[in-house]
Amino acid sequence: MNKPSSTPDVIRDFERVHQSVVELAAKFPSSILADVAGRRGALHARISPLSPSMRFAGPAVTVEVRPGDNLMIHAAMAVAKPGDVILVDGKGDLSSALMGEIMCQQCAAIGVAAIVIDGAVRDSEAIRELGLPMYAAGLNPNGPTKFVPGRLNHPISIGGVTVHPGDLVVGDADGVTVIEREKAEAMLPLAEEKVAAETKRIADIKSRKALRPAWLDGALRAAGVIKDGETL
């Protein structure tokens, strides 16, 4: 009887969202992409950029670590390709930093597009100066251990969102949005339409052509706030 095959803890090769999709998605705010994806995929607000000027787009390299240990992040850096975004499920632990200046210098030299960690980092001033987009849940000067096994390029849960390796990840000052690789391309025309609609709405507000949304009265009636035929 054949034994069932087991999936290795470290997966080196996986399908990434196409580079053309990444390049187009990079034009849109994370909020627009979250909206057109069904108002889902945005990571918890605790995971924020070290600088509001940081922004990125790229395919996900997923890392699961035990709290306070960064061994598997080093493994991720060994297999990451230029343009990849390293996402780390650090379990929200802030007792020690999982990355600092040296690792970020290595990531920048590799060509990693960004790092997103549900955990703490350190050397924040040096990372800001380096310019590598770093999103984290907090800061802590304590260093990590490097001997607890984890998993690389398996599905992870980070900031309340399930992420698979190769998914599209986009970040800016508002935070980080993840869209499934298979759905990412289909979201782009929807994002174009949403940007056009919002641009028109803002223009109508500025010109005083429409100072409130057209859907407001209907929504209030549906909610029972105002009666049929009544308007504000």
The pLDDT value recorded for residue 2 is 52
Q: Using a cut of 0.85, tell me whether the model's pTM lies above it.
A: yes
- Average per-residue pLDDT in the chain? 95
β-strand 151-152 against 134-139: which pairing, if any?
A: unpaired
The pLDDT value recorded for residue 232 is 87
Are 175 and 214 contained in the same domain? Answer: no
d(CA 41, CA 160): 9
Range of the domain at 212: 189-222
The pLDDT value recorded for residue 5 is 55
d(CA 28, CA 118): 23
The pLDDT value recorded for residue 1 is 46
Strand partners, 151: 64
The pLDDT value recorded for residue 195 is 97
Q: Among 174, 147, 184, which residue's Cα sits nearest to residue 71?
A: 147
Are 146 and 102 contained in the same domain? Answer: yes
Query: Which two tokens mark 93?
Result: 């632990």
Are 145 and 202 contained in the same domain? Answer: no
The runs of H, that is alpha helices, within 45-156 are 71-79, 101-110, 124-130
Are 84 and 102 contained in the same domain? Answer: yes
Contact status, residue 36 vs residue 191, Cβ threshold 8 Å: yes
Contact status, residue 191 vs residue 57, Cβ threshold 8 Å: no
pLDDT along the chain (232 residues), means of 10: 69 97 98 96 98 98 97 98 98 98 98 98 98 98 96 98 98 98 98 97 94 91 91 86
CATH number for the domain that contains residue 78: 3.50.30.40
Query: Which two tokens mark 39?
Result: 């108002």
Are 146 and 213 contained in the same domain? Answer: no
Are 107 and 69 contained in the same domain? Answer: yes
d(CA 206, CA 97): 46
∠7-151-134 over CA atoms, to 5°?
140
The pLDDT value recorded for residue 6 is 76
